[in-house]
């Protein structure tokens, strides 16, 4: 039996390798234990929270080049709704991200271990194969450079792609050493096919697997072709899957990939910029300090910004080519790094020139190089005392795991809130206008409107044509009471925004909102209508337009827009609530109750919906159900005056006059001028004496 067929042969102790996978999982769990409460941030919101296809689990609507990842988000949402009635419990998404990372780490462990047991390599590394695989997989798992792929939920695409990339390679390795290889080769093709639906970088997998085969498994290209030509035909066929998925959403690529999007570099200029980016990636791999969510990396425009980094990367590329010729195993590590990064760090311009999650797989080569250099150095230094050398190597690796793990825990803390991660980003990249814009947005979302304005002003100072902070500054001013000033900024944003863009719809929405505050009903209606014309699926615009129409007696048209809001966002509790109120007003009590029940089901903490449902139950004479609804509203807000008054009315109908008096008195403690509560309290006092009257709701 060959060493490849029996991976436990030659291990220091036969039981140790069986524990190593559990140790890797434990390491991952420890260093990401503080990530489960990290909220949805930045692209998480558009890709998950407000993605209509994810919300509906729309199998067709999910189709994109990252179909498998988007499907996983939909399953996360569906499972959360099924088990907790809360579809976006953030911890659920983090658990899945961590499980994917652990699975990828175990796949890496298996790939490295089996590689070290291949003929020609096992003679040197057999005894320490499992340990070296553990060291490499462990360091890769806890390295803080991986946090963007694990803690930042939407970057699940990178780790999922990495998992299937490694599984594809593992299937080929197992197939090469098995008597019946067809099953393993088929699994490799299937893994590659699934990976193609995770992220476009998977396009490099057949190339890297083929190179691995030539370096480690085959004696020549002819041998490779003769033994596994059908395998590579299958792997190449998976490119067709990626091509079809990309073609299905071809329009999206022009906005962020190629030379057609705003701010795009020429291919050569982009390549020149990537020399500095690749150097930065390598620095972070060796010294992972000052990690940053969003670099907004500037284009390299001077020779001083290009030549030093270009020379460094050029030397590494030449060393890789030399290594493939003279030291193929070492050269393969360099090739892995360059090939995996080629789709984002070569000549095809990408909107974000530098992103840390792109190092998820390339980090493998840097970690393996470091582990084996350490092993070789210690082995030579302690050649006469190998046991002592093994102990020193073990302690050094453990110390490195502890340092890197602690850095990962600290980095996760930077993600503790949306505001915290953007404050960290502007501190590290103060010239990033997008970071200032996002910081301002999250400060504004917290209700600190005036505090947010300087952040938007800073974003506009750095990028005067940046429409998003212009619009958001208008919103902040409107909410802070500076309505006319804010309205002017929103009008400017509307004039500058591209036609049919989401930004244009937002600007019209904000103009309408401000106009409504100023009592300009016709102008508000006109701009809400423009917002939904630009974006027919803009649920909030439909809702606000419906509310405006209903306030002025245009009930039928209001119902149409409430229905459009629900069509755009099926879980829009506010729209269900307001339709319920209209139904009650029209005397359609059963239909009104049905909509209000839907509202409280979708949003259990929606106090107004509980209150309205209680009133509907009173109209049907269902006093106990009404009391239950009012109790729920008061649980959410014990000082909800309308619910206190209605609870008093329900208790009085039930015959609990003292309880009714207590609730009416609470209303008057909160608002001594509450006329309905005064009248109801008088009648309750009368009823306590003779039981004549019933209160007004």
Say which residue the tokens 């609990």 belong to. 656
CA distances 196 to 62, 106, 355, 488, 679, Å, are 15, 20, 20, 47, 70
Three-state SS at 60: coil
Q: pTM of the predicted model, to two decimals?
A: 0.84
Q: How far apart are the first and last CA of the chain?
A: 86
Q: What CA–CA distance (Å, rounded) separates 95 from 73? A: 12
Three-state SS at 448: coil
Say which residue the tokens 């008195």 belong to. 665
**pLDDT of res. 685:** 84
**pLDDT of res. 661:** 86
42 in Cβ contact with 293 (< 8 Å): yes
**pLDDT of res. 56:** 64
Q: What is the pLDDT of residues 275-313, one digit of tens each?
A: 999 999 999 999 999 999 999 999 999 999 999 999 999
Three-state SS at 343: coil
- pLDDT at 522 > cutoff 80: yes
SS3 annotation, 184-253: HHHHHHHHHHHHHCCCHHHHHHHHHHHHHHHHHHCCCHHHHHHHHHHHHHHHHHHHHHHHHHHHHCHHHH
Q: What is the pLDDT of residues 368-418, one digit of tens each?
A: 999 999 999 999 999 889 889 889 999 999 999 999 999 999 999 999 999
**pLDDT of res. 44:** 86
Buried b (16+ CB within 10 A) or exposed e, 447-483: ebbeebbebbebbbebbeebbbbbbbbbbbbbbbebb
How many residues are given for the chain? Answer: 697
Q: What CA–CA distance (Å, rounded) separates 570 from 330? A: 54
Q: Quick one: the chain helix, strand, coil %, rounded to 5?
A: 75, 0, 25
Q: What is the pLDDT of residues 59-102, one digit of tens each?
A: 666 677 788 999 899 888 887 765 555 556 789 999 999 999 99
Q: How confident is the model at residue 649 (pLDDT cuts 50, 70, 90)?
A: confident
333 in Cβ contact with 368 (< 8 Å): yes
Side-chain-facing half-sphere of 552: CA atoms under 13 Å: 13
98 CB burial (10 A radius; 0-12, 13-18, 19+): buried
Q: What CA–CA distance (Å, rounded) separates 47 from 440? A: 21
**pLDDT of res. 657:** 84
530 in Cβ contact with 494 (< 8 Å): no
- pLDDT at 433 > cutoff 60: yes
Write phi, then psi, for 139 (nearest 5 degrees). Answer: -65, -45
Tell me what the mean pLDDT of segment 667-680 comes to: 86
Closest alpha carbon to 630 in 91, 640, 621: 640
167 CB burial (10 A radius; 0-12, 13-18, 19+): buried
Helix (H) or strand (E) holding 301: none
Q: What CA–CA distance (Å, rounded) separates 350 from 201? A: 13
Q: What is the pLDDT of residues 472-500, one digit of tens each?
A: 999 999 999 899 999 999 999 999 988 88
Q: What is the pLDDT of residues 559-580, one digit of tens each?
A: 999 999 999 888 899 999 999 9
Contacts of 75 (CB under 8 A, 6+ apart): 57
Q: How confident is the model at residue 680 (pLDDT cuts 50, 70, 90)?
A: confident
- pLDDT at 3 > cutoff 70: no
Contacts of 138 (CB under 8 A, 6+ apart): 23, 24, 27, 105, 397, 401
Q: What CA–CA distance (Å, rounded) separates 657 from 684? A: 6
What single-letter DSSP state applies at residue 144? G
Q: How confident is the model at residue 8 (pLDDT cuts 50, 70, 90)?
A: very low
SS3 annotation, 236-271: HHHHHHHHHHHHHCHHHHCCCECCCCCCCCCHHHHH
């Amino acid at each position: 039996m060959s060493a490849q067929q029996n991976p436990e042969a030659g291990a220091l102790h036969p039981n140790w390798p069986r524990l190593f996978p559990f140790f890797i999982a434990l390491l991952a769990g420890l260093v990401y234990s503080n990530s489960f409460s990290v909220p949805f941030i930045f692209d998480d919101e558009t890709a998950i929270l407000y993605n209509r296809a994810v919300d509906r689990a729309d199998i067709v609507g999910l189709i994109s080049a990252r179909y498998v990842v988007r499907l996983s988000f939909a399953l996360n949402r569906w499972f959360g709704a099924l088990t907790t009635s809360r579809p976006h419990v953030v911890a659920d998404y983090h658990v899945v991200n961590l499980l994917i990372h652990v699975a990828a780490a175990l796949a890496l462990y298996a790939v490295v271990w089996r590689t070290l047991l291949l003929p020609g390599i096992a003679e040197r590394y057999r005894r320490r194969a499992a340990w070296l695989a553990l060291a490499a997989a462990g360091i890769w798992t806890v390295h803080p450079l991986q946090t963007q792929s694990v803690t930042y939920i939407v970057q699940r695409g990178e780790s999922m792609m990495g998992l299937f990339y490694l599984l594809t390679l593992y299937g080929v390795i197992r197939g090469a050493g098995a008597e019946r290889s067809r099953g393993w080769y088929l699994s490799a093709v299937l893994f590659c096919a699934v990976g193609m639906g995770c992220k476009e970088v998977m396009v490099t997998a057949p190339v890297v697997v083929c190179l691995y085969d030539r370096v480690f498994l085959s004696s020549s290209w002819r041998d490779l072709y003769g033994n596994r030509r059908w395998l590579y035909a299958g792997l190449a066929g998976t490119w067709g899957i990626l091509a079809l998925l990309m073609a299905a959403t071809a329009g999206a690529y022009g906005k962020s990939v190629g030379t057609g999007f705003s701010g795009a570099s020429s291919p050569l200029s982009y390549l020149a910029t990537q020399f500095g980016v690749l150097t930065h990636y390598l620095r972070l791999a060796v010294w992972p300090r000052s990690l940053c969510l969003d670099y907004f990396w500037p284009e390299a425009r001077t020779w001083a910004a290009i030549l030093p980094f270009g020379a460094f990367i050029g030397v590494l590329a030449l060393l890789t080519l030399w290594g493939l010729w003279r030291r193929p195993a070492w050269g393969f590590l360099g090739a892995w790094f360059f090939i995996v990064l080629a789709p984002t760090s070569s000549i095809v311009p990408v909107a974000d020139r530098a992103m840390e999650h792109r190092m998820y797989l390339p980090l493998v080569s840097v970690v393996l190089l470091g582990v084996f250099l350490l092993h070789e150095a210690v082995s030579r230094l302690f050649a006469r005392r190998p046991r002592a050398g093994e102990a020193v190597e073990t302690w050094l690796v453990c110390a490195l795991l502890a340092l890197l793990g602690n850095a990962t825990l600290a980095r996760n803390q930077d993600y503790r809130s949306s505001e915290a991660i953007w404050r960290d980003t502007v501190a590290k990249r103060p010239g990033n206008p997008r970071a200032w814009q996002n910081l301002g947005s999250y400060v504004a979302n917290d209700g600190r409107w005036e505090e947010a304005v300087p952040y938007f002003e800073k974003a506009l100072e750095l990028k005067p044509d940046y429409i998003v902070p212009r619009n958001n500054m208008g919103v902040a001013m409107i909410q802070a009471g500076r309505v006319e000033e804010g309205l002017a900024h929103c009008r400017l944003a509307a004039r500058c925004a591209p036609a049919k863009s989401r930004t244009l719809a937002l600007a019209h929405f904000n103009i309408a909102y401000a106009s409504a505050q100023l009592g300009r009903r016709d102008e508000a209606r006109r701009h809400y209508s423009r917002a939904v014309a630009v974006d027919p699926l803009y649920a909030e615009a439909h809702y606000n337009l419906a509310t405006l129409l209903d306030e002025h007696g245009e009930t039928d048209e209001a119902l149409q827009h409430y229905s459009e809001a629900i069509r755009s966002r099926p879980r829009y509790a506010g729209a269900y609530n307001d339709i319920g109120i209209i139904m009650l007003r029209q005397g359609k009590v059963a239909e009104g109750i049905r909509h209000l029940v839907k509202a409280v089901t979708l949003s259990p903490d929606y106090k107004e919906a509980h209150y309205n449902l209680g009133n509907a139950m009173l109209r049907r004479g269902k006093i106990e159900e009404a009391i239950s609804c009012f109790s729920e509203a008061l649980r959410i807000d014990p000082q909800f005056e309308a619910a206190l008054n209605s609870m008093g009315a329900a208790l009085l109908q039930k015959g609990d006059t003292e309880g009714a008096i207590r609730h009416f008195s609470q209303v008057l403690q909160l608002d001594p001028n509450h006329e309905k509560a005064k009248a109801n309290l008088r009648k309750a006092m009368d009823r306590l004496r003779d039981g004549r009257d019933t209160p007004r709701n």
